[in-house]
């Protein structure tokens, strides 16, 4: 009986996901605290990582691991979305191609995000990390449409969007809004990103990310 108890106590415990300390003292870019940031959406809370990092760059530590991106800092995931060679979107009848200006250049993107956060903090007097979280929550679609085929006929059907995909779509649309607004324009990437974060955090329909969310949900309602 004693041996059985010892085996049970020595049994291996399941590996748990990384948990951020309650009050680490680490600040993003040495300026913005993670401690008072709150995620209101319970579905997104388990996928939004606010692991304290001064510089949000983990050198692809979680690459090629299933579901590991949920442990990547939210600001770093935004930086990854901004590193692209083009959007494929049309603006003024022309497909936007940034000609590799941001692709693979994380240092450049992180500097743009730091400048954008400084602008957001100056405009709103609020923590830009909290505003980014609100922007993501307000621009994450809950419904979308998919195409199914029955008997050679294709139908559009409304489907629920998983929490992880909701976060991916929200970050992608925020990044696309910044790239498109600054493309062939006097406005810098940092300024465009700051404007999009402020608009999306307040749920303003002028925000590209919020507009895309409303459009997706409207199409899903019509396909029910």
Q: Does pLDDT of 168 surpass 50?
A: yes
- The three-class DSSP label of residue 152 is coil
**Structural domains in the chain, sorted by start:** 18-222 (1.10.455.10)
pLDDT in the model for residue 169: 93
| pLDDT value at 14 more than 80 | no
Q: What is the pLDDT of residue 5?
A: 41
Which has more pLDDT, 35 or 104? 35
pLDDT band at 124 (very low <50, low <70, confident <90, very high): very high
Instruction: Kindly indicate the confidence band of residue 97, based on its pLDDT and cuts at 50, 70 and 90.
Output: low
208 vs 202: CA distance, rounded Å: 13
Helix axes 106-124, 189-201, angle to 10 degrees: 50
Helices (H), the chain: 2-9, 42-45, 74-82, 106-124, 128-138, 163-182, 189-201, 208-222
Return the higher-pLDDT residue of 114 and 85.
114
Cα separation, 8 vs 107, in Å, equals: 49
* pLDDT at residue 138 is higher than 60: yes
The whole-model pTM stands at 0.80
- Is the pLDDT reported for residue 12 higher than 60? no
Read off the pLDDT band of 181 (50, 70, 90). Answer: confident
Q: Which two tokens stand for residue 72?
A: 């990547």
Residue 170, pLDDT above cutoff 80: yes
Taking 80 as the threshold, does the pLDDT of residue 21 lie above it?
no
């Amino acid at each position: 009986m004693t041996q059985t108890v010892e085996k049970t106590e020595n049994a291996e415990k399941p590996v748990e996901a990384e948990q951020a300390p309650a009050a680490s003292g680490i600040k993003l870019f040495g300026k913005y605290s993670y401690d008072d940031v709150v995620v209101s959406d319970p579905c997104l809370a388990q996928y939004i990582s606010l692991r304290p990092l001064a510089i949000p760059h983990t050198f692809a530590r979680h690459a090629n691991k299933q579901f590991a991106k949920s442990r990547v800092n939210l600001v770093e995931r935004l930086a990854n979305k901004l590193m692209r060679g083009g959007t494929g979107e049309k603006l003024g009848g022309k497909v936007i191609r940034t000609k590799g200006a941001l692709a693979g250049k994380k240092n450049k993107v992180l500097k743009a995000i730091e400048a954008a956060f400084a602008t957001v903090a100056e405009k709103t007097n609020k923590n830009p990390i909290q505003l980014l979280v609100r922007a993501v929550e307000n621009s994450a679609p809950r419904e979308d449409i998919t195409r199914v085929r029955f008997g050679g006929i294709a139908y559009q059907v409304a489907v629920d969007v998983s929490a992880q995909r909701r976060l991916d779509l929200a970050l992608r649309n925020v990044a696309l809004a910044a790239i498109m607004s600054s493309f062939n324009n006097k406005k810098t990437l940092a300024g465009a990103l700051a404007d999009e974060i402020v608009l999306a955090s307040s749920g303003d329909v002028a925000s590209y990310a919020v507009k895309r969310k409303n459009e997706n949900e409207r199409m899903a309602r019509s396909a029910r």
